[in-house]
Amino acid sequence: MKLTMGTRGSALALAQSGMIAAELRRLSPGLAIETVVIKTSGDRFSAAKPDEAYKLGSGAKGLFVKEIEEALIDRRVDFAVHSAKDLPAQLAPRLAIAAYPQREDPRDAFIPRAGARLADLAQGARVATSSLRRQVQLALARPDLKFTPMRGNIDTRLRKLGEGACDGLLLAAAGLRRLGRADVAHELLPTELMLPSPAQGALAVEIREDDDATAGLVARLDHASTRLTVEFERAVLARVGGGCSTPLGALARVEGSGVSVQIFLAEADGSRARRFTRRCDDPRRRDEFVASWVAELRAG
């Protein structure tokens, strides 16, 4: 049997999709998988106008999956591998997530230029990140820091750091690990300081809803607790809305028979920042729980 797999062409995307393909081949000996690299609107826009891409805000959510989902719908690929945090709150019609493989560490990492910890950075130090979520949360702890946008793949950002473009940069820890760069000196930021983006550290394997054959193969990769927590976080994203223009962090954890969910939410200018933790005792009532909680957040 042969399947075609859609993916972005970045080094990280290829590493992630390669991991999924290797695991599928291990689980189904004899399975052939062809990789189809698809350039998305987000890739083209970021390359052509990096400064405008940084300002794009809510429109950026989904731009890194749009053409891949179109290839799925048009049957040019059988399944697609995404960073789950790139997915918009609502999938395209007729598509579904067949598997969330076991999640990597969801936390953010601080990578210094000269070995200093975040707390030891000098007043007014420059920290590179194009994430409003990261900027707003870090500014609450260190309002003296200066932020500079930085795009490009992980190796490009690390090179710019070494060249002195900034004093430190923020990245998802999962990206470092999946690219084999965990040896780079970095500090994992506690969630009390920096809540990650909804679904950060997770991968999503997307298929057509009516493709039972592919679903049967891919579903073997699904990790139950990862699915449970990521879908809680995505439910928060769906209710809050706003995409990349809203400083939103969310992290869910399984606790016994329930799920504990942390949320960080602020206005785009960093005002009205608030952090909450709630427990949902019955995960089957997820949508009702999230809707009620987000309504409370907005009213507060």
Task: Say yes or no to pLDDT of 242 above 70.
Answer: no
Task: Say yes or no to pLDDT of 56 above 80.
Answer: no
Residue-by-residue DSSP string for 65-95: THHHHHHHHTTS-SEEEEEGGGS-SSPPTTE
CATH code that applies to domain 108-188? 3.40.190.10
State the Cα–Cα distance between residues 84 and 100, nearest whole angstrom: 8
Closest to 171 in 3D by CA, of 141, 162, 181, 276: 181
β-pair partners for 83: 203
Res 300: pLDDT:
66
Give catalytic status of residue 43 as yes or no. no
Strands of the chain (E only): list them: 2-7, 32-37, 79-83, 95-99, 108-112, 126-128, 146-148, 168-172, 187-188, 203-208, 248-255, 258-265, 274-280
Radius of gyration over alpha carbons of the chain, in Å? 19
Please indicate whether residue 270 or residue 34 has the higher confidence score (pLDDT). 34
Structural domain boundaries of the chain?
2-104+198-299, 108-188
User: Do the first three CATH levels of 2-104+198-299 and 108-188 match, i.e. the same topology?
Assistant: yes
Q: 276 is written with which tokens?
A: 């909450």
CATH code that applies to domain 2-104+198-299? 3.40.190.10
Q: What is the pTM of this model?
A: 0.91
Strands of 149-214 (E only): list them: 168-172, 187-188, 203-208
pLDDT tens digit sequence for 180-216: 999 999 999 999 999 999 999 999 999 999 999 999 9
Q: 32 is written with which tokens?
A: 């052939």
Backbone angles phi, psi at 52, to 5 degrees: -70, -35
Task: Say yes or no to pLDDT of 53 above 50.
Answer: no
Q: 287 is written with which tokens?
A: 């949508």
Where is 285: in which H helix or E strand?
none
pLDDT band at 61 (very low <50, low <70, confident <90, very high): low
pLDDT band at 58 (very low <50, low <70, confident <90, very high): very low
Res 13: pLDDT:
95
Instruction: Say which range, 44-53, 178-187, 257-266, 283-292, has the weakest mean pLDDT.
Output: 44-53
Res 295: pLDDT:
85
Average pLDDT value for residue range 83-88: 94
β-sheet with 32-37: strand ranges across: 32-37, 2-7, 79-83, 203-208, 95-99
Res 35: pLDDT:
98
pLDDT tens digit sequence for 133-190: 999 999 999 999 999 998 888 989 999 999 999 999 999 999 999 999 999 999 999 9
Please indicate whether residue 59 or residue 60 has the higher confidence score (pLDDT). 60
Do the bridges between strand 2-7 and strand 79-83 make them parallel or antiparallel, or are there none, so unpaired?
parallel
pLDDT tens digit sequence for 3-21: 999 999 999 999 999 999 9
Among candidate residues 43, 51, 78, 86, the one labeled active-site is 86
pLDDT band at 54 (very low <50, low <70, confident <90, very high): very low
Task: Say yes or no to pLDDT of 278 above 70.
Answer: yes
State the Cα–Cα distance between residues 7 and 36, nearest whole angstrom: 6
pLDDT band at 43 (very low <50, low <70, confident <90, very high): confident
Decide: residue 224, CB within 10 A, 0-12 exposed, 13-18 middle, 19+ buried.
exposed
Res 205: pLDDT:
98
Where is 189: in which H helix or E strand?
none
Dihedral sign, Cα of residue 57, residue 64, residue 239, residue 266: negative
Instruction: Say which range, 30-39, 58-67, 129-138, 271-280, has the weakest mean pLDDT.
Output: 58-67
pLDDT band at 243 (very low <50, low <70, confident <90, very high): low
Count Cα neighbours of 168 within 13 Å in the Cβ-side half-sphere. 27
Strands of 152-233 (E only): list them: 168-172, 187-188, 203-208
pLDDT tens digit sequence for 98-127: 999 999 999 999 999 988 899 999 999 999
